[in-house]
Chain A
Amino acid sequence: MREPNAIDFWRGFALVTIFVNHIPGNVFERYTFSQYGISDAAELFVFLAGWSIGLATRGRDGTPEPPLRTLLRMVSRTVEVYRAQVVIMALALAMIAGTALALDNPLLLEWHNAGQFFADPIQTMVGVVLLTHQLGFFNILPLYVVLLAIAPLMVLASRISRALVLALSFGLYATSLVFELNLPSWPGEGDWFFDPLCWQLLLVLGFTLGEWNRATPRLRAWSRRLTPLGVAIVALGIVLAVYEIRPDPLTVPEPRLIFTFDKTYLTPARLIHFCGVLLSFQAVYGLIVPWIGPVAPFLAGLGRNSLAVFSMGSLLSLAAQFVRFQTGGGVIVDVSVVGSGLFALGFTAWFVEWRSRKPSPKPLS
């Protein structure tokens, strides 16, 4: 178990933010940073995933591990994330159906994109395992599966040339923006909520900046110098978010995705805003750690076990939505569901580490 560090801390922070934001309408939502900017916790999560891949594919002494091991490591991680997505989708659908039956309330079956499954289970079941049917709020892991699947290519190619990888990644991003390329949904119409063709750029940026940061102190020096620019961008983001100022997608010039604030396609405005967030908060962990006591190890613990915590968080936020709906919500309910949810996330992280520490029992024979 590694000591708390900035990467795990911010990952944990992103996980908590995602958990709270996935209980729409709750009172804590307005205290998350997502409400005060153009980008949100999803960007942070994917960027840090890229950064972590750089750490995971090197030995303790910093030498790159053999290519085959990198490949197998990434394939294994892809399978793990895929398995998590299929399991939480099955559990979520069962939770929705079970709650609808228990409350005798078919309205719940129409919960964010679930109607498709209950109306047409034959096709949609295939869509679930193909990742082309995604419930609302359950659409991050499919993106993550695709990103991890292409990650070995990114890692190995960047050992030849980081600039080439960045150029290819940016090229794919720009092409997808201009031509609105995305992976299709099926059997429902439309596209993926997170377009992997665009979001891959953030993973590559996280990975490449992490590698660059390791190789040379110049990155750190430059990013320190650019901090005021980052703060200005964040300030602008706050103004735009609070006053709900955003471009009208029907009046912007073509290609419109260059100009709009669109989460699906990680449009440039979101990317620039996220870079501003990075520049502004790069040194914050070191500054606040002495003051926040157990919060830092708590969040870092969540970040170390991000897949398990994210999966549990998705299911807990769904359960919290039902509790809020059935009780009518309100501050007391919100404090209870968010509070017990955070406790459960902390327990999940602790449990995963406890289980991996414990020597596995002898197989039954």
Chain B
Amino acid sequence: MVRRVAVPQAEPQAALVALRALTLLIAGFWPFLGAHAARAQSAPVVVSPPQASAAASVEAVDPSLSPECRVPGSKLYTLARLKAVKAALREHRPIQVLSIGSSSAGLGASTPYPVRLETALERSLPDVEFNVEARGLPGEIASGAGERLRAMVAETEPDLVVLQVGTNDALARVELDAFGDALEETVRWVKSHDIDIVLIDPLFTRSLADDEYYTQMVRKVQTVAANEAVPLVRRYEAMRFLSTSGKAEAHTLGQQFRLNDLGFRCMAEHVTRAITLSLLKAEPASTGTAGQAPVSEAEPSAAKPPVTPSPLPN
């Protein structure tokens, strides 16, 4: 899980090594300031991603993720409460998850994304059963997609909707306000029926990095998530981070496709992380006793003793 390096190495640029070692030390110790302190061993140093830029490695990457998927928490998600899932947990019933979106897995992946998500969720919360249903959005955009989503939600009656949003609208160049309004309406509708929703913004690819419209669309998803107080998995930012880090692994189709592949593979983990941390997010009224949030760089204040993720708060 945690990779280590022998810090002092015989390299000519000693100053650079020292600087890097320092950042790595900060990066490595950051999680251990919290709950992992109990498990802290002799001078472990987290070095993932190995070639992270100095700026990026100031903030710790998330050690609960697979090495190739590690992204600093602030780039990975914004959190919000998930009331319906918590209620289902209290009733000790399986959590019904409806995953809606266009992508299913990495190119040629052996395991489809919905299965990956279910596995990752159950690994993250071992005593809880998750049933993930997946649906694509075939041929609708903006408010039309909202209509289709309503029908899917009515059909599957989930506790939680995980919605990948923006791809088809971006491809159709839907007007940003129309897109934002439709998304906001959808999110409000889902919430009004006591169903939780997690948004995932569209992917990052270099050919669209300077596309003003596309970046504004990603920002629009963030705005809606913030206004409606729902968790957001920042796939765009996560992939952008991964694109600047990691080994220059070859891909037959080129760099952008490799990144895309990696982004897919990591998405289930990233979504799971956001859901788990959102679940552990304390209710404002709660006293924060047993089962309080374990460590997370998103919640640096959570310096409480570590607990197994289940049973959950409240």
Chain A residues with a Cβ under 8 A of chain B: 22, 24-25, 101, 103-116, 118-121, 134-137, 139, 180, 187-190, 193, 244, 246, 248-250, 256, 260-262, 264, 321, 324-325, 328-329
22 example contacts (A-B, Cβ-Cβ < 8 A) are as follows: A24-B140, A25-B141, A25-B172, A25-B175, A104-B205, A105-B208, A107-B167, A107-B203, A107-B205, A110-B103, A111-B102, A112-B136, A112-B139, A113-B136, A113-B137, A113-B139, A120-B109, A249-B154, A250-B150, A256-B154, A321-B171, A321-B172
B204 to chain A, nearest CB (A): 9
**Is B30's beta carbon under 8 Å from chain A?**
no
Judged by a CB distance under 8 angstroms, whether B49 is at the interface is: no
CB within 8 Å of A: which residues of B? 102-109, 112-114, 133-141, 143-144, 147, 150-155, 167-168, 170-175, 189, 193, 202-203, 205-208, 213, 253-254, 256-257, 259-260, 264
**Complex CA distance for A260 and B253, rounded to whole angstroms:** 45
Bound complex: CA of A24 vs CA of B105, how far in Å? 25
A133 and B190 CA atoms in complex are apart in Å by 28
- A187's closest neighbor in chain B, by CB? B112
CB-based nearest A residue for B260: A106
Output the least CB separation between A53 and chain B (Å). 26
Tell me how far the C-beta of A170 lies from the nearest C-beta in chain B, rounded to whole angstroms.
23
Question: A136-B139, A325-B173, A328-B213 known; A119 and B151 CB under 8 Å?
Answer: no
In the complex, the answer to whether A110 meets B151 with C-beta atoms within 8 Å is: no
Main secondary structure of the interface of A (DSSP, over half): loop
Report B-chain residues with C-beta under 8 Å of the C-beta of A250: 150, 153-154, 193
Closest 3 pairs between A and B when the two form their complex, measured CB to CB? A136-B139, A249-B154, A106-B260
Give B122 Cβ to nearest chain A Cβ, in Å: 18
**Which residues in A have their C-beta under 8 angstroms from that of B139?**
22, 24, 112-113, 136-137, 139, 193
Q: Known interface pairs A104-B206, A249-B151, A250-B154. Does A324 touch B134 (Cβ–Cβ under 8 Å)?
A: no
B-chain residues with CB within 8 Å of residue A260 when the two chains form the complex: 151, 154
In the bound complex, do residue A24 and residue B138 qualify as a contact, i.e. CB atoms below 8 Å apart?
no
Q: Which residues of A contact B113 (CB under 8 A)?
A: 119
Q: Evaluate contact between A105 and B256: CB separation under 8 angstroms.
A: yes
Cross-chain contact B172 with A24 (CB below 8 angstroms): yes
B90 to chain A, nearest CB (A): 22
- Please give, as numbers and ranges, the residues of chain B lying within 8 Å of A24 by CB-CB distance: 139-141, 144, 168, 172, 174
Q: Is the CB of B102 within 8 A of A113?
A: yes
Contact status B205-A324, CB under 8 Å: no
Report the minimum CB–CB distance from B171 to chain A (whole Å). Answer: 5
Interchain CB contact (< 8 A) of B171 among A108, A113, A190:
A108
Residues of chain B contacted by A118 (CB below 8 angstroms): 107
**A246 closest partner in B (C-beta):** B147
- Which among B113, B137, B151, B171 has the highest number of chain A CB atoms within 10 Å? B171
Task: Name the residue among B138, B154, B213 with the largest chain A CB count within 10 angstroms.
Answer: B138
Contact A119 B106 (CB under 8 A): yes
A193 to B137, CA, bound (A): 10
Q: In the complex where A110-B103, A112-B139, A139-B139 touch, is A328 in contact with B173 (Cβ < 8 A)? A: yes
Given known contacts A25-B174, A107-B171, A112 and B151 CB-to-CB distance under 8 angstroms = no
* Residue from the list A108, A112, A262 in contact with B138, Cβ < 8 A: A112
Q: Could you tell me the distance in whole angstroms from the C-beta of A141 to the nearest C-beta in chain B? A: 14
Contact A325–B171 (Cβ < 8 Å): yes
Q: Contacts of A22 on B, CB cut-off 8 Å?
A: 139
Contact between B112 and A120 (Cβ–Cβ < 8 Å)? yes
Q: Which residues of B contact A246 (CB under 8 A)?
A: 147
Q: How far is the CA of A164 from the CA of B109 in the complex (A)?
A: 50
Q: How far is the CA of A134 from the CA of B138 in the complex (A)?
A: 8
A24 to B140, CA, bound (A): 8
Q: Which residue of B lies closest to A185 (CB)?
A: B136
Query: Given that A104-B206, A110-B102, A321-B171 are known contacts, is A139 also in contact with B135, CB under 8 Å in the complex?
Result: no
Evaluate whether A119 and B108 lie within 8 angstroms (CB atoms) in the complex, with A112-B138, A180-B155, A249-B151 already known. Answer: yes
Smallest Cβ-Cβ distance to A113: which chain B residue: B136
In contact, B167 and A110 (Cβ under 8 angstroms) = yes
Central interface residue in B134, B136, B140, B213, by most chain A CB within 10 Å = B136
Q: How far is the CA of A37 from the CA of B180 in the complex (A)?
A: 24
Which among A25, A104, A105, A188 is the interface contact of B173 at CB below 8 angstroms? A25
**Chain B neighbourhood of A248, CB < 8 A:** 150, 189
- A256 to B153 Cα, complex, angstroms: 12
In the complex, which residues of chain B have a beta carbon less than 8 angstroms from the beta carbon of A120? 104-105, 108-109, 112
User: Nearest Cβ distance between residue B114 and chain A, in whole angstroms?
Assistant: 7
Q: In the bound complex, do residue B112 and residue A112 qualify as a contact, i.e. CB atoms below 8 Å apart?
A: no
Which residues on A sit within 8 Å (CB–CB) of B213? Answer: 328
Tell me the complex Cα distance, A112–B102, Å: 6
Q: Is the CB of A244 within 8 A of B143?
A: yes
Q: Chain A nearest CB: distance from B236 CB in Å? A: 11
B138 A135 Cβ-Cβ under 8 A: yes
Q: Is the CB of B257 within 8 A of A188?
A: no
Is the Cβ of B150 less than 8 Å from the Cβ of A104?
no
Bound together, the chains give a CA A266 to CA B242 distance in angstroms of 45
Query: Which residue of B is nearest A22, CB measured?
Result: B139
B155 CB to nearest chain A CB (Å): 7
Instruction: Point out the residues of chain B lying under 8 angstroms from A134, CB to CB.
Output: 138
Are A136's CB and B138's CB within 8 A?
A: yes
Complex Cα distance, B155 from A260, in Å, reads 12
The answer on a CB contact under 8 Å between A106 and B138 is no
Cβ-closest chain B residue relative to A116? B104
Q: 20 other contacts beyond A116-B136, A246-B147, A262-B151, with CB at 8 A cut-off?
A: A25-B175, A105-B256, A106-B257, A106-B260, A107-B202, A107-B205, A112-B136, A112-B137, A112-B138, A112-B139, A113-B137, A114-B102, A119-B107, A119-B112, A137-B139, A180-B155, A188-B134, A190-B136, A264-B151, A329-B173
